[in-house]
Amino acid sequence: MDKSEELELVPPELRQAVEDEHNNPTEVWKSGMGQLVQCSGTPGKKVYVTFYTHLDKKIIELYLEEAYALDQISKVAAKLLPTVEWKVCSGTQYQTDFEFNSSRQVYDSIKTTLIYQFNYLLVRLERLHPIRPFDQEANCNECRQMILGHRFKCTECADFDICQRCEARSIHPEHAMLRIVSKGTTHIPHYITANAPRYVFA
């Protein structure tokens, strides 16, 4: 990662300040800008957090506390995009690595750049909603859990659907899978369901 790539992890309005801090570290530390900040009586890290969705990204400067980091980034995600419930994950706009389940996980995922030496965190936001809440049988054929997020439908089997977690583990690799966001939103070509039993909802 070179200088320009590192600066892409900083909000545009703060990039000059990061450059100045890098070029004149003594002056910055004298002014107190480089110190740890107290949040709710607990030490926190200044972190540039990039929130990715599949369409967009937003970079926010946050002071994350080790004990509350997951709650903090979840609240920011809800404020940034209040119309959708989000699953908070590690990742970028290109891929999801894993879902954050604890503040410790979030804190351990904070990285420091080599050149500018600032902390950053990459957060992928995934929509969290049932694909077919009206259909009690909308369970993953692999893990048997209710499908949340995207549903992956086999293009060859008559009635085989898996959740996005199982799809990420390359379950059912012998057939091509069709990603379905929600009924009525994702158009399914008729030839894919033409031979499926009548009870199979596309």
What domains are defined for the chain? Answer: 3-127 (3.10.20.90), 130-202 (3.30.60.90)
Please report the pLDDT score of residue 191 as a whole number: 67
- How much is the pTM? 0.59
Name 189's Cβ contacts closer than 8 Å, sequence gap at least 6: none
Spatial separation of the C-alpha atoms in residues 50 and 89, rounded to whole Å: 12
97 near 117, Cβ under 8 Å? no
User: Closest Cα to residue 53, out of 21, 15, 17, 81?
Assistant: 81
What secondary structure letter does DSSP report for 139? B
Spatial separation of the C-alpha atoms in residues 114 and 2, rounded to whole Å: 9
What pLDDT band is residue 132 in, cutting at 50, 70 and 90?
A: very low
Spatial separation of the C-alpha atoms in residues 90 and 123, rounded to whole Å: 5
Average pLDDT, the chain: 80
pLDDT tens-digit series, residues 10-37 = 999 999 999 988 888 655 444 444 433 3
